[in-house]
Structures are given as C-alpha cells and as structure tokens.
A and B are shown apart, each in its own frame.
Chain A
Amino acid sequence: MKNKYIFGGIIIAVFLVLMGYLFTQSNIEYADDFAVVKTSSKTVKATGSWVKEKHYEINKEDKTFSFILADQNGNEMKVIYDGTIPNNFETAKSVVVTGKYQNGYFHAKDILTKCPSKYEEQNTKTSGI
C-alpha cells in the first residue's frame, strides 16, 4: 500500500500548490459597486444595467461598442467593448462586463447578458390605465 500513498501524495501536493498559485492568478472578483471598480487596477466582473437613454456608440471602423453602464446605486461608467453588440443586449435585464477600468473608461473583454429567458419569468413593468 505504500506506493499508493507516495504516488498519490506527490501528485496531490504538486497539484494543490499549482492550483493555489493559478487560482490567485486567474481570480476575478465580482464588483457591483462602480466606485470600487474605478479605483481597482485588477480585472473585475462588474454587474450593472445599460443606461439606454445616454450616449452609446457602435463604431464599425474600430469594431467597438461603447455604452454607459450603471450600478444599483446609479453610479455610471463608460464601457468600451471590443466587438459588436452582443446577442440579447437590448433586452438584457442586466449585463456583466469583465475587464479593467483605465483612462476614464471600462475596457470590457467580455460581456454577459442576463436575459429574462429559459428559467425565468418575464417581469413586465406594468401600470394601470
């Protein structure tokens, strides 16, 4: 039985060290407060909702898409995404952008749209007549 423990032990030990190291390297924190996002120098995932009423821009030349995102407290920031408008963006309830805040805007390398779909009831804003 000894060999079993030696082999298993070495693999697990090397593996745990490597995993711990990579985890800290690849770790991306969630930041829902844009005040925090703006001061952080790390890559974060920021959740907010698109401020449709404000300036947005689809630049076909540079293939970028920029828009204003607001967090729950109404803090706004400009987001520039390298790509075109993602699917479902217009109807998304909220969006999660992954990237870094630099030079006055949030450079998003990834956008995730949270849609009222598959497992979700459509919450429709309604008001009386």
Chain B
Amino acid sequence: MIGSVVLTFALAFSLLSMVMYFLNYRGYKNTLNYARIAYHGMAMLVIVAAFILWYSILTHQYQYKYIYSYSNNSLKTGFLIASFWGGQEGSFMLWLLLTSIVGIILQSYASKRGDLEPRVMAVFTLATSFLLVMVSPWFKNPFEYLWITPAFINVDHINSSFLNLPFIQQFFFTDQSTNQGFIKVNAELVAMLKSSGVAVNDFVINGKGLNPQLLNFWMQIHPPILFSGFSMATVPFAFAIAALMKNDYRDWIKQAFPWMLAGMGILGLGIMLGGYWAYEMLGWGGYWAWDPVENSSFIPWLVGVAGIHTLLVQRRSQAKKKGIGKYTKTNLVICILTYLLVLYSTFLTRSGVLGDASVHSFVDPGMIVYLFLILFIGTFALLGFGMIAYRWKTLNESIVADEGILSRELALFTASIVLIASAIIVIVGTSAPLFGQSVDTFFYNEMQLPLAIIIMFLNGFSLLIKWKKSDTNEVVKKSTYSAGGAVVFTLILVIFGGVHEIMIILLTLTTSFALFVNLDIAIKIIRGNMKMLGAYVAHTGIALFILGVIGSAVYSQHQDVDLIKGKPTKAFGYELTFTEYHPIENNTKYAFNVDIKKDGSEYNLKPIMYISEFNNSLVREPAILTLPTRDLYLSPLGYDDGNQSNANGKSVSVALGSEFDFNNAKIKYTEFIRPDISAMQSGGNIQMGTKLTVSKDNKSYEIIPMIKREGGQFEYVAAELQEANLKIEVKKIDPGSEQAEFIVSKLNDNGADKIVNESNEVLTLTASIKPFISLVWIGVLIMVFGFFISMARRLKESMIIS
C-alpha cells in the first residue's frame, strides 16, 4: 500500500517538474526552482519506493503478489536483492529507478551548461512520467496485493496452523492430477482472515521463488547494467529535442557526446554479460542465438554506435570554423532513434507479441499495457520526428561543402550507414513474428558477415586517412605495414589454422588489418597524449572481439559422448573420465565429476544436473574449462545409473492396446494387471504388471514384466524373451490412464563379451571445443574501456562554452 502511494506521489512530482521546466523554457523565470525541487522530490520518492520493495522482499512480505511470485524463503540474500527485477513489474521499477538517478546527474550536468537545463529536463521528465505510469497501480505495479486477482496458493506455502480455521474449507481446492492442495486467496478470504485476526503475511509464509535459470551469479549484475544503458539512452534523445526546441544545433553535439559514449559503453557491457550468462548457464554452448530478447537490446546499441561516429564528424567539422557542422539531421535522427529503439525493444519483449518466438517466456500483460506501450513509443516518435519536421526548413539551410572521397568524414559516415544497415537486419528479423513470420538464424549470420567485413575494413582504413582530404600516395604508404601484417596473419591462419571459406578469410583479413592499424596508432599515442587513446582502444577491442567470434562460432566443434563410470573416453584429444557424482548446495543439486587429462596436464570439471522444485523439471548446467587458446565446454545431457537397463535400450510410453516396434519385433500392450487395492492402501506387499504380446517372424509370444513392492522396496522384474532377443522392464504404470512406461533392450548386449564388473553408470554429455572464445569477452571489455576513455575526454570538452 505504502509503496503504491509513494509511487503515485512520485508521478505527481514528475508531472509537476515537467510543467515547471516547460514554463521556465517558455520564459517564466521563477518556475526553475520549483521544477528542480519537484524533480528531486520525484527521484527521492522513487528511491524510497525501491527501498520499500527491497525491504519487503528481504522481510518476505508475501502479501505482495510480485514478491510471492518471484522470491521465497530459501533464496540467498544476493538473489533476494536480485529478485527485485525477477519479473516484469520489477524490471520496469528498476528501469525507473536507474532513470531517476541518471536524471539527478543530468540535472546537475545541464545546469552548468548555459540555458540547457529546462529544455533537457522537460523532455527527460516526460520519460520518467511514462515510466511512473507504467508502475502505477493501474498497470504493472510491483506493490499489488496477492488477492486483487484471486490467486491459487499451494498449501505448502501456507502456514499450516491456520489450515484448520473453520472457513478455510470453502477455499480449498485439489488438483486431481497431482493431488496438490491449493488455497484460493481472494478478497473474501482476506476479509475473513482479518476478522479472525490473521495477517495475510502470517498466512502465506513462502513464495514461489525464482526460475532456476535466473539463479545465476550474473542475475545480480546483468539486468542493472543493461537497464542503466537503457536509462542513459534517454539523455541523447533529450538533448536532440532540446536542440530542436532552441533551433540551435551547434552546442548540443558536444554536450550529448559523453552521454552517448557512456550509455553505449554500458549497454554494450550489459549485452555482453547477457551473452556470457547464456554461455555459462544455458548449456547450448553459445553466447548469442539471435534470440529476440538479445536482439532487442542489440538494435539500439548498433544505432547508438553509428551515432557516435556521425556525432564525431559534426563535432570535428564545427571545431575549426563557426557553423553547426556536417550531418546535423543525421545526428538528430540517430539520437532520437536510439531511444525509440529502446522503447521498441521494451515493447517487443514486454507486450507478449513474441510469445512463440523466444526462449524467454512472457506473459501477455493484457491489452491495456499493450496499448500503453504503443502510446509510449508513439508519443516519443511523434515528439522526435514532429520536431524535426517542424524545423525542417532551418535544418536544410546549413549547406556544407562536399567531402573528398578519401576523407575520414566520408569513411565514418559510411561506417555509420553500415552499422545502421546491420541494425535494420536485426529489426527486420526480430519484428518478423509480428507479421506471423520468422527467420532462420542464418538470415542474421549471412547478412551480418559482409557488413562485418566492411566495418572492419573501415575500422582500420578510416584512421589512416585524414579529415577533409587525403593524399592517395600517403595513405598507401601509411597502410603498408598494417596491410602487410594482416596478409601474413591471414595466410598463417589459412595454411595452419584451417580457415578456408572465402568470406571468413576476408573477415579475418580486414579484422586483423583493423587490429594492426589501431595497435600501431595506440602505441604511438601512449607515448604522447593518453586522453586521445579511447577510439583506438575501443577499435582494438572490437577487432579482438570479431576474431573471437570467428574462432568460436565458425571453428567450434562438438560431439556427444557417453562416459562410462571409471572408463576414460577420448574427445578432441582430451581424455575424459567420469568418476562419481555428489550432492551439493544442501542436496538440491548434483555435481558430476569429470577428470580431464591432456598432454600431462590434469583438470577437473563438474557439470551439474538437478530437478528444480520451481517447475519440476530437469535443469542441466554446463561446466567450462578455460584454457589460453580455447574453452572445453561440457554440457550434460543425462545420467543413467545403470540399474534399469543398458544404454542401448529405449524407453517408451504406451497406452493400453497400442503397439510399438523394437528390433524387428512388434510389441503390443494387451492387459494391465492391477494391484490389489486393499494391499495398496495398507502399504502391504503389492505387485502389478502388464501383459505384452510380442510378434516376431510370424510367431507370437506372451510376456509379463512386473513391478513388485515388498517392505517398501520396489523391485522391477523384467521379462526376457530369447526368441526375439529382447528384455522388457516396466518402469511405471499409471492406474488411472493405464498408460505404461517400458524400457526395452536387446538381450545379447548384456552377453558374455561384456566385462562383468564394468559399471553401467553412464554420464552422457556434449563436449565442445571453442577456440579463442575468451577473445569475445576480452574484446568487449577492452572496447567498453575505450568508450570510457573517450567519454572522459569528451566530458572535458563539453564544459567549454563556445
């Protein structure tokens, strides 16, 4: 309740601040102080609301639906804090929180730069207002009570001492398929509890907890970083609109520049951490799957990075002489688009439109939220492009001289166009499900590959040519060493590294060219002016990243292996031995120990498997061995304890009366031999089984595999049939549906040729080799570092008022 009230007040303050800032811009001088107070009031209230949510999570206030749905008593403190953003409501809350904090910094930044503050903050508070409406009690409110829409709460989550309250029975439900009991918690029950003096928070004593895939270290770090990037993307948008409001396009470039660099640096880091999380957790061996959720944060990043390059050109072209510089319109459009694409990304991932297209699952948030998201995007699109249209005449007045073919301006512009083209591919592919279409991932890969070649070429080439005009001979001379180095490097890879595809060879060539050019310049700069280093560091990082992508994506190999306990098995030159498994983390998970030997070195990996209580399904976590030139990646598939069958069998589930094939025999499940009901209830010895008719070579046989329970122990009595060379064991029979599960195997697989005491325990896993995957992470980290060096330099420049 208190949380909702705080957020509602925050919304009022945000709107007030917006109006006051706008009035100040229109010339009412005395409103500026009110606007500032209102903004800081809003930000404080949002921070307070966030702390209320955190406090409520940490003290297990399950009367809030959000907390009941995404946390529970057994989560460790770190994950409890992270369950703040475990669901949709909380991730909007996180976005709002970070945007409010960014706004505090922005306000202070803008107030020191001429008359910037009222215009920038008027736009910025429009954004905070929309986010506040989003988390308000009418939409995605994290403080909604559990019973507002009746919820069925598992009895395990209810304090059992209240289950004998007289009125509970009418709210008690049972799921007949699982025999689980549920309490329907609605307003009526809450009223009755209240009159009996029972607080809801004492009644519901545990929550559902987090999805096991979110229970990863990076859950605590990746979302806040990603949302910081999203929040910071608001700022260049606000600067662009502010410039259009004033109809002055000179100063905003240098003012927006450090924000764009910092925002894209942080967003890039967030995207990379998401990829690393997927790599470490999901077990499919990759870090990027062109999944809509990944894509949707990648699109604004690509456009934003394109913007960094065109902002640089405008900044550069206005430095020498008076005037607004080149690419004014391009820069306005890009800064506006970057934020619009962040909003579009939110729309795609939060509106339920991609329901069938992603491994991330989304609830349909309801029509009203869907429409509100459209209104949100629509408002900002209309504001951005409306303002450009309104100022179109002035924008076209500034005619700038043509740049030479061999000018850095044109190279940077071309690079931006290619980056935007790359973004368009991702948008088209990601948005296809909106039109009932979808694309195979090769669409992205095939399209991005030629663009990456061009980008990498420009990455190196643009730094060798001069602003305005370059002398061809000089460029050729300057590029000799780098180009020569790149050719040698690529040839080595082609001859010794097995790189054969022409596109990959070209990409390797341009990437290594970019790498050498940047390293060359960077080394020269280190001896000189360090603050100029940013661009070269970032470009070196991206080149290393692309080399990592080439190695890990194109040349990774994988293979499924069955590891018999104690028996060394070779895969990719590594000798893998499965030794044992043991429970970890309070017996909730099992670690499967695999000893690894190669060239005299010994390693050890422990992939993990467990049945998650959250959704009763098997969760498999890979284990990774990081070596200097490659990762060995072991992703578990399954474990067979060897008690039921040999590994060459198959398990089938069939209904009474139906048939299946095995080893050229037809097997029909003809009768269910029911257990004695009274014995079953008294817990005595029982037996049940199935009658099967096996037909092979025109002969028919009858066999009866059984399940016996004696003294609480289950015994599976398999039926063997020499004539058909098969052995059938019945694993499970559902008395209701009469559906039965069998394990069928060949008899002679257990024959004399097998070593008698060889273990039947088998760990099946996918082993893969990922060459140079570490460069992917290292490259991105270096790139992000470069962004921040540049930001520091541009931040200083932005202080100078021209």
With the chains together, A50 CA to B358 CA distance in Å? 19
Nearest residue (CB) in B for A28 is B438
Residues A32-56 near B (CB distance < 8 A): 43, 45, 47, 52-56
Query: Nearest chain-A residue to B362 (Cβ)?
Result: A119
- Near A by CB (< 8 A), chain B positions 373-412 give 399-400, 402-405, 410
B637 touches A84 (CB 8 A): yes
Is A104 part of the binding interface, using a Cβ–Cβ cutoff of 8 Å? no
Enumerate chain B residues within 8 angstroms of A3, measured Cβ to Cβ: 402-405, 410
Known: A22-B447, A119-B88. A60 touches B649 (CB 8 A): yes
Distance from A36 Cβ to chain B, minimum over Cβ atoms (Å): 13
B69 touches A121 (CB 8 A): yes
Contact with B440, one of A1, A26, A89, A121 (Cβ below 8 angstroms): A26
Say yes or no: A18-B69 contact (C-beta < 8 A), given A1-B400, A87-B619, A91-B616: no
List B contacts of A28 (CB < 8 A).
437-440
Instruction: Let me know if B658 and A27 touch, CB within 8 A.
Output: no
Residues of B269-296 at the interface with A, using a CB-CB cut-off of 8 Å, are none
Is B418 an interface position by the 8 A CB rule? yes
Q: Say whether B651 contacts A57, CB under 8 Å.
A: yes
Q: What are the interface flags for B625-650 relative to A under an 8 Å C-beta threshold, 1 for contact and 0 otherwise?
A: 00000000000011000000001111
Output the nearest chain A residue to B652 by Cβ-Cβ distance. Answer: A57
Q: Do A7 and B414 touch across chains, with their CB atoms under 8 A apart? A: yes
Which residues in window 77-119 of A have CB below 8 A to B? 84-85, 87-91, 96, 112, 114-119
Interface: B436 (CB within 8 A):
yes
**Residues in B whose Cβ lies below 8 Å from that of A85:** 618
**Residues A87 and B618 in contact, CB atoms below 8 Å apart:** yes
Which residues on the A side are within 8 Å of B69 (C-beta)? 121
A73 within 8 A of B: no
Q: Is the CB of A126 within 8 A of B402?
A: no
With A119-B363, A125-B177: A30-B439 Cβ-Cβ less than 8 Å? no
- Minimal beta-carbon separation of B747 from chain A (angstroms): 15
- Judged by a CB distance under 8 angstroms, whether B566 is at the interface is no
> A58 touching B650 by the CB < 8 A rule?
yes
Q: In angstroms, how far is the closest chain B Cβ from the Cβ of A62?
A: 9
Query: A60–B764 Cα gap in the complex (Å)?
Result: 10
Once the chains bind, are B88 and A61 in contact (CB under 8 Å)? no
Give B551-595 interface residues, CB cut-off 8 Å to A. 560
User: Using an 8 Å CB-CB cutoff, how does the interface string of B64-87 with A read, 1 for contact, 0 for none?
Assistant: 000001000000000000000011
What residues of A have a CB within 8 angstroms of the CB of B648 in the complex?
A: 60-61
Contact with A along B337-380 (1 / 0, CB 8 A): 00000000000000000011011111100000000000000000
Partner among A43, A116, A119, A128 whose Cβ is within 8 Å of the Cβ of B615: A116
Residue ID in chain A nearest B650 by CB atoms: A59
Q: Is B12 in the interface zone, CB < 8 Å from A?
A: no
> In the bound complex, do residue B442 and residue A88 qualify as a contact, i.e. CB atoms below 8 Å apart?
no
| B617–A27 CB distance below 8 A | no
Q: Mark B410-424, 1 if CB is under 8 A from A, else 0.
A: 100110011001001
What 1/0 flags go to A1-38 for Cβ under 8 Å of B? Answer: 11110011001100100110011011111100000000
In the bound complex, how far is the Cα of B152 from the Cα of A128, in angstroms? 12
A2–B658 Cα distance when bound, in Å, is 74
Given contacts A23-B439, A23-B443, contact A118 B87 (CB under 8 A): yes
Complex interface: chain B residues within 8 A of A8 (CB): 413-414, 417
Q: B439 near A27 (CB under 8 angstroms)?
A: yes
Q: B356 touches which one: A45, A58, A126 (CB < 8 A)?
A: A45
Residues of A within 8 A of B620 (CB): 87
Query: Closest CB of chain A to B441's CB: distance in Å?
Result: 8
User: Whole-angstrom distance between the alpha carbons of A120 and B650 in the complex?
Assistant: 35
- Please, which residue of chain B has its CB at the minimum distance from the CB of A67? B653
B54 within 8 A of A: no
Q: Is the CB of A56 within 8 A of B652?
A: yes
Question: Which residue of B is nearest A89, CB measured?
Answer: B617
B435-473 to A contact mask, C-beta < 8 Å, 1/0: 011111011001100110010000000000000000000
Is B9 part of the binding interface, using a Cβ–Cβ cutoff of 8 Å?
A: no
Residues of A near B405 (CB, < 8 A) are 3
**A114, B439: Cβ atoms under 8 Å?**
no
Chain A residues, Cβ within 8 Å of B618 = 85, 87
In the complex, are the beta carbons of A11 and B355 less than 8 A apart?
no
Residue of A nearest to B399 (CB): A1
Residues of B within 8 A of A128 (CB): 173
Main secondary structure of the interface of B (DSSP, over half): mixed
Q: A15-B421, A29-B437, A121-B69 are in contact. Are A126 and B175 (CB under 8 A)?
A: yes
Nearest Cβ on chain B to A39's Cβ, whole angstroms: 18
Contacts A29-B438, A124-B152, A125-B177 given; indicate if A117 touches B638 (C-beta within 8 A). no
Q: A127 is contacted by which of B174, B450, B619 (Cβ under 8 Å)?
A: B174
Asked if A55 meets B660 with Cβ closer than 8 Å, knowing A23-B428, A29-B436, the reply is yes
Question: Within 8 Å of chain A (Cβ to Cβ): is B214?
Answer: yes
Q: Once the chains are docked, how many angstroms separate the CA of A124 from the CA of B410?
A: 60
How many angstroms between the C-alpha atoms of A9 and B471 in the bound complex?
Answer: 25
Are A26 and B442 closer than 8 Å at their CB atoms? Answer: yes
B654 in the interface, Cβ–Cβ < 8 Å? yes
CB distance from B171 to the nearest CB of A (A): 11
Q: Which of A12, A56, A129 contacts B173 (CB 8 A)?
A: A129
B425 within 8 A of A: yes
B417–A7 CB distance below 8 A: yes
Known: A23-B428, A60-B647. A7 touches B410 (CB 8 A): yes
CA distance A29 to B435 in the complex (A): 10
Give the shortest distance, in Å, between A51 (CB) and chain B (any CB): 10
- Contact across chains for A30 and B173 when beta carbons are under 8 A apart: no
Known: A91-B616, A117-B615, A127-B173. A30 touches B438 (CB 8 A): yes
Please give me the residue from chain A that is nearest to B421 by CB atom. A15
**Cβ–Cβ < 8 Å partners of B180 in chain A:** 124
Contact of A120 among B169, B361, B418 (CB under 8 A): B361
A56/B439 in contact, CB under 8 A? no
- Is A58 touching B651 in the complex (CB atoms < 8 A)? yes
Q: With A57-B652, A114-B355 as given contacts, are A4 and B447 in contact (CB-CB < 8 Å)?
A: no
Q: Contact string, B500-535, partner A, CB cutoff 8 A, digits 1/0?
A: 000000000000000000000000000000000000
Report the bound CA distance from A8 to B362 in whole Å: 38
A12 to B647, CA, bound (A): 55
Q: Is the CB of B437 within 8 A of A114?
A: no
Closest Cβ of chain B to A63, distance in Å, is: 6
Q: How far is the CA of A28 from the CA of B357 in the complex (A)?
A: 11
Q: Which residues of B contact A117 (CB under 8 A)?
A: 211, 213, 361, 614-615
By the criterion CB–CB under 8 Å, are A55 and B87 in contact? Answer: no
In the complex, the chain B residue whose C-beta lies closest to that of A9 is: B417
In angstroms, how far is the closest chain B Cβ from the Cβ of A102?
18
Q: How far is the CA of A56 from the CA of B442 in the complex (A)?
A: 31
B208 on interface, CB distance cutoff 8 Å: yes
Distance in Å from the Cβ of B63 to the closest Cβ of chain A?
Answer: 17
Q: Is the CB of A4 within 8 A of B410?
A: yes
CA of A56 to CA of B732, assembled, Å: 14
B23 in contact (CB, < 8 A): no
Residues of chain A lying within 8 A (CB to CB) of residue B438:
27-30, 45
| In-complex Cβ contact of B617 among A43, A56, A91, A125 (8 A) | A91
Task: Report yes or no: B211 in contact with A96, Cβ–Cβ below 8 A.
Answer: no
Q: B414, A11: Cβ atoms under 8 Å? A: yes
| B665 cross-chain contacts in A, Cβ below 8 A | none
| B contact residues around A11 at 8 Å (CB) | 414, 417-418, 421, 454
Enumerate chain B residues within 8 angstroms of A7, measured Cβ to Cβ: 410, 413-414, 417
A30 / chain B contacts, CB cutoff of 8 Å: 356, 433, 436-438
Chain B contacts to A: CB under 8 angstroms: 69, 86-88, 151-152, 169, 172-177, 180, 182, 184, 208, 211, 213-214, 355-356, 358-363, 399-400, 402-405, 410, 413-414, 417-418, 421, 424-425, 428, 432-433, 436-440, 442-443, 446-447, 450-451, 454, 560, 614-620, 637-638, 647-655, 658, 660, 737, 739, 764
Known: A4-B403, A117-B361, A119-B87; 6 extra A-B contacts, CB below 8 A, are A3-B405, A11-B421, A28-B438, A88-B617, A114-B361, A115-B617
A-B CB contact pairs (8 Å), 8 listed: A3-B402, A11-B421, A22-B447, A52-B653, A55-B655, A57-B660, A121-B363, A124-B182
